[in-house]
Amino acid sequence: MKILSLATILSFQSPNLANVYKDDEILVISPLKDALANAKFIKCEIGAMSYTLALICKNLLDDEFFDDLDEGYLSGESNIGEEEIPEICEFIENTKVCVVSDEIFSTNGSQTKQMLNLLSMKFGFDIVDLSGEKISLNGELNELSELESFDGGVVFTHPKFDEFRGGMYFAMAAKIKDGAKVSLKTSQKELEATFSLDKNMQGTVAFLGNSDLKYGFEVVNLKG
């Protein structure tokens, strides 16, 4: 069975669901690489799921809304190479389940929901949330807003447990050292945390966990 995962990092957000699909063929489209042994990974920019889906719909759906979109612009902004689109489209045509998580709707949420709805209706796949429950999505197709800039110290927020952990590239971008105690200001909450340097982490995104946070990406303001 073919599974399309649009969740940011399914093995972390929902280990139980990841285990359910452990013997299936999975295509992951996300800004963060997931440690799923049986998955093909395609990287997209943070917050660019709407542009990614617009590219897919432009190639798979006969709709004037998508015909008018600039494929080169969508590709450049989403970081989805034009050579990757045929591979994604072929996979979607045979997909049985698409996994979504709430953070992919943070930008152009209504359009993102409607694009997934249209693809689901055309190709007959189920859309499920992180608990594995089948869900229905409804939205509207209208002009896509520009993507938010994620320059600087970017964190992936989550509610699973308390942590502030990042790799060398994040530490350099945020100008922070291992063990530093800092105040962090996010759009969701201000909190105190101690930074833990994880040399195994790649990229410039750190993980920030707290029970009051939701899944999502943010540029944080740090004060030592």
Mind listing the domains of the chain with CATH numbers? Answer: 2-128 (3.40.228.10), 154-223 (2.40.40.20)
CA distances in angstroms from 147 to 18, 142, 210, listed in the order given: 29, 15, 26
The set of long-range contacts for 13-17, using a CB threshold of 8 Å and a minimum separation of 24, is: 13/101, 13/130, 13/158, 13/215, 14/99, 14/130, 14/131, 14/132, 16/132, 17/99, 17/128, 17/130, 17/131, 17/132
Question: With DSSP H G I counted as helix, E B as strand and the rest as coil, what are the percentages for the chain, rounded to 5?
Answer: 30, 25, 45
Q: Does the pLDDT at position 224 exceed 80?
A: no
Overall pTM > 0.75: yes
Residue 38 binned pLDDT confidence (cut-offs 50, 70, 90): confident
pLDDT greater than 80 at residue 137: yes
Contact (CB, 8 A) for 157 and 101: no
3-state secondary structure of 115: helix
Query: Helices H, strands E: what count in the chain?
Result: 8, 13
**Tokens 């962090």 label which residue?**
184
Quick: pLDDT tens for 79-94. Answer: 999 899 999 999 999 9
**What pLDDT does residue 61 have?**
96
